Chain A
């Protein structure tokens, strides 16, 4: 057994069979862990993903730690949850920080592959390389916070829990999985997959230990990296104000999604300083050097920039206090804030334009705090109009003649509501990144925003490996730029390292491939020459899975509104995405990836993956 590489467990909740085996080292060399290994397991488990429903017991739900998760490597706290998504019916993959990942590692597990469906509510209990399936009847129906309190009461203080709330239990297609107050594996509605299996929680007693291969070299390198990252301006700013600091620049640019993206600028009342008044100090995930997460005076944590923009501006709410209350509610109910803050405004606009006639006859409105509050509850329990909202983007399938009109108002790609509150009409590479993201419209797959900083040419050459056009409104070289970002983030997710310390995420002064190489060498004794290749391989495999689900070139476009209506305000006013130019940008992206003009990986790439799949 290699240091840091421990067990994978396959758990069948229908038969209560548990099979524990050593995580295959050959796969680790090719896919690291976390997101990479998870998609490999999903690809193996689901041969024909288009043939099964995401709520079918055979749909695997995979919890996988990054290769370095649990060590002192900077911000190595993260695990991925992967499954066929009920929200998009394609790859569902959500990444989560907090403390559950390390606790699962310390309990002896790298990865859990959960299939089947339990007859009654249960939770999984992990300790010392063993797994027990326990009754969760007393937890079913509770919010995420009460669930964790009850588990602490019965299991003792030193356990970490990843659980679902009422939203997951009621199969809401945008339900998330929560650890502590706000660490969540949100995207793709994987909380609902957990609910469909009657699995309320996974509890890990992390009292065991892990070992790195070369402890003294590893620690020397960690101490250097700590100082290197502490010097980074973006780290210092995130620590002081957290992600809400991004609101003001986006709003000035005229790129804050407001009232379901009908307008692109909102009130100043949601700037970071207003939220800071409610802050009770910056908190961290395990092994974090950034400490970006703020506890709030209302008893929760956050909000992040996403919640500020989507529960605030996009719902037409001006008050920081109200946004914090909604943020805390979503976390307790177990709702993905990104999807919720996109789908509710979509319903409001549809109601105002009479597209819901026959299905809902009331009128919804923007800027009504009480209404949004009650919609969150109705959605989580599938009551009234909530039963329609709970379908998220799949609601389109229930619509009749208004479907195509409704689709034009929906800010989503591949069926996934856009996560970032940033309107993509101005920065073209951002729009491309939203279009090509493997799980659907999501900024955390690429977020190529370095261009707005106007960095010196020498620096951009170093980042992108060649001279690129960095004008945010140009359509040139954006395929190259997006692919560069996507690949290093895929590696970061494989290692379990947070975006906020990964090179090129808002700053070039962060961890590069060369840093990753040292960490993996001293941590696991693995010599990986070319991390870029690993990142590309993960993205190729995700693409192959999505192709099996029916994804084609036409699914790689940004939301229709960004292509049809110009931005309404600020610097971005008048800008939109020109379809013909986007076509060329997408061509260049496929070319960079080595894919065909239709977006299919090439024969060599397919062969490489097939070989890995067959070898085990």
Chain B
């Protein structure tokens, strides 16, 4: 059986520099933004409570051994690979799958398990919907950490080695 992958965060070594988030958004979407990243920093909790007490200061995808998000998807918009990494199709979904239309079921499943979801809104729009005033708009799809095919950008850029790439079986 292939090895499984996950990330481990050493919260005490993280200095909240946002580099992981910027490298992630650059890798995923070719832009730099802490809010288009699959790994997030909660600046307010860091600020008010301090790093150690601030709860999940850095919020990555935990890559659960039994991920609750994957079975929660009512459409065929998620896949799970041999490394136990769940991926969401934003566009170009292969045959038999469909692009995410942002039903939020995976977000709820993730938040139920971890208190805060690590699945976020992407800049891609897939789902046409009508607003209350009858205007037709496109709804954004969701995205999550896909481990950059085993070479995560966040791990590479962290200057303090606070994000570890773990292989296990």
Complex Cα spacing A286 to B22, Å: 10
Q: Closest residue of chain A to B26, judged by CB?
A: A215
What are the interface flags for A88-109 relative to B under an 8 Å C-beta threshold, 1 for contact and 0 otherwise? Answer: 0000000000010010001000
Contact residue among B19, B29, B31 (Cβ-Cβ distance under 8 Å from A287):
B19
Contacts of B139 in A (CB 8 A): none
Contacts of A223 in B (CB 8 A): 156-157
Cβ of A226 under 8 Å from chain B:
yes
Across chains A and B, the number of contacting residue pairs, with CB separation under 8 Å, is 99
Cβ of B42 under 8 Å from chain A:
yes
Contacts of A212 in B (CB 8 A): 26, 32
Contacts of A282 in B (CB 8 A): 15
Residues B159 and A289 in contact, CB atoms below 8 Å apart: yes
Q: Decide: A211 near B23, CB < 8 A? Known: A283-B16, A283-B51.
A: no
Interface size on B, residues (CB 8 A): 33
What is the minimal beta-carbon distance from B21 to any residue of chain A, in angstroms?
10
Interface centre among B15, B30, B43 (most CB of A within 10 A): B15
Residues A230 and B159 in contact, CB atoms below 8 Å apart: yes
CB contact list, B136-160 vs A, under 8 A: 153, 156-157, 159-160
Contacts of B32 in A (CB 8 A): 70-72, 209-212
Q: Decide: A211 near B31, CB < 8 A? Known: A72-B23, A282-B15, A288-B15.
A: yes
Complex Cα spacing A210 to B22, Å: 10
Complex Cα spacing A290 to B159, Å: 8
Cβ of B35 under 8 Å from chain A:
yes
Residues A280 and B52 in contact, CB atoms below 8 Å apart: yes
Residues A284 and B16 in contact, CB atoms below 8 Å apart: yes
What is the minimal beta-carbon distance from A108 to any residue of chain B, in angstroms?
12
Contacts of B43 in A (CB 8 A): 99, 157-158, 160
The number of chain A residues touching the other chain, given as a range, is 35 or more
Q: Closest residue of chain B to A208, judged by CB?
A: B33
Residues B17 and A288 in contact, CB atoms below 8 Å apart: yes
What is the minimal beta-carbon distance from A328 to any residue of chain B, in angstroms?
13
Residues B17 and A71 in contact, CB atoms below 8 Å apart: no
Contacts of B25 in A (CB 8 A): 209
A sample of 8 more A-B contacts (CB under 8 A), given A70-B32, A210-B31, A284-B17, is A71-B22, A72-B157, A102-B18, A152-B44, A158-B35, A209-B25, A283-B51, A295-B51
16 example contacts (A-B, Cβ-Cβ < 8 A) are as follows A72-B22, A99-B18, A157-B42, A158-B43, A206-B34, A208-B33, A209-B32, A211-B31, A219-B23, A219-B157, A223-B157, A229-B159, A280-B51, A283-B16, A285-B17, A287-B22
A interface residues with partner B (beta carbon < 8 Å): 70-72, 99, 102, 106, 148-149, 152, 157-158, 160, 180-181, 206-212, 215, 219, 222-223, 226, 229-230, 280-291, 295
Closest CB pairs A-B (n = 9): A209-B33, A284-B15, A284-B17, A209-B31, A291-B15, A289-B159, A207-B35, A288-B17, A157-B44
